[in-house]
Amino acid sequence: MSTEQLVKRYMRSAMGAVAAGLTLFSLMGSAQMASAQSAYDESAPLADLTPEKYRETGVLAVGTQPDFEPANFTPIGEDGVRGYNIDIMEAMAAKLGLDVEWSRVPFDQLLIGMQSKKFDAAIAGMTDRKSRQETVDFLDYMSVGSVFMVAKGNPKGIGSSVNENCGITVGDVKGSDAKRLVDLMAAACEAEGKEPTTLISFPNSSDKNLALTSGRVDTMIWPDMAVSVLLREVGDVIEPMPIDFEPRVFLGITFNKTESELRDAMLEALGAIHEDGTYDEILSKWDVEAVALDDYGINLAKE
């Protein structure tokens, strides 16, 4: 066989291999596309309400800060997220035929992430406030009260009233609703010519808990329904004190204000898990029935 014939045979073989590879690649791509499309469950109870762009992926991207048991947390030695917020969100998404893809985000970055559309929704026990409604929409799904957590025996003399805590330091997570309460206390103290209450912010709940137990702050604000979890975590060295100037507040799932179609679909999904008992089952599973909100809705906070 001549050199020219060998070259031709080689070229035919190479072209055949390329063609086969392209065919295989095409088949793999089609399979991956089909897999992505099949992730959307069109037989789900409320699948017809799911916005088209989410049907294409079958996935809802959700942000949370997984450091607050029992709401949203990553257990030691695990990689995933757990908690009643996780269960509620996944149950709602399933009603729309969607899976949830979780993003771990610092609490103070959740609203920023919503505005920049880094994710489609966020759930992390965020308090619904009128000021926050200017930038995001809230789907209010539960209600909580707050307490002061203080060192055992309350050696700092922390009081329940707005003007009883002049000059103390309050620890909380950066970006939380605690600043509003501390500002109320500070204003009441300054009106009486006393040293104002001050807030010291920490990146996560574990850091603020350590700050209290080590004496770096005098108190911290904590949801009333999660006191037992905190005591189990840090031991019998702290105790709750009531806050008599803070009414119960709404906690909401947040959405970008341009995503009203998704927000409204999720509202229907929340109604569905209330109706079939899933909502109550989740709260019972995590022993947080106290946060149940039957009169759920969108942007319920009036101040």
**Phi/psi class of residue 20: alpha, beta or left (left: φ > 0; alpha: ψ in -120 to 50)?**
alpha
Residue 223 pLDDT greater than 60, yes or no: yes
Q: What is the mean pLDDT of the chain?
A: 88
pLDDT of residue 232: 87
* pLDDT digits 0-9 by tens, 63-99: 999 988 899 999 989 989 999 999 999 999 999 999 9
Residue 17 pLDDT greater than 70, yes or no: no
Range in 4-8, 108-112, 180-184 the model is least confident about:
4-8
pLDDT of residue 7: 40
241: its two tokens: 């004190």
Q: Which carries the bigger pLDDT value, residue 299 or residue 175?
A: 299
* pLDDT digits 0-9 by tens, 102-137: 999 999 899 999 889 999 999 998 999 999 999 999
Say what angle helices 260-275 and 84-95 make with each other, to 10 degrees.
100
Query: CA angle at residue 282 from 101 to 258, to 5 degrees?
Result: 45
Mean pLDDT value across residues 18-41: 44
Residue 18 contacts by C-beta under 8 Å, 6 or more apart in sequence? none
pLDDT confidence band for 45 (50 / 70 / 90):
very high
Residue 219 contacts by C-beta under 8 Å, 6 or more apart in sequence? 148, 149, 150, 156, 158, 165, 168, 169, 170, 171, 212, 241
pLDDT of residue 28: 37
Mean pLDDT value across residues 254-280: 98
pLDDT of residue 233: 86
Instruction: Yes or no: say if 156 and 218 are a contact pair by the CB < 8 Å rule.
Output: yes
* pLDDT digits 0-9 by tens, 191-206: 999 999 999 999 988 8
Range in 28-37, 237-246, 249-258, 281-290 the model is least confident about:
28-37
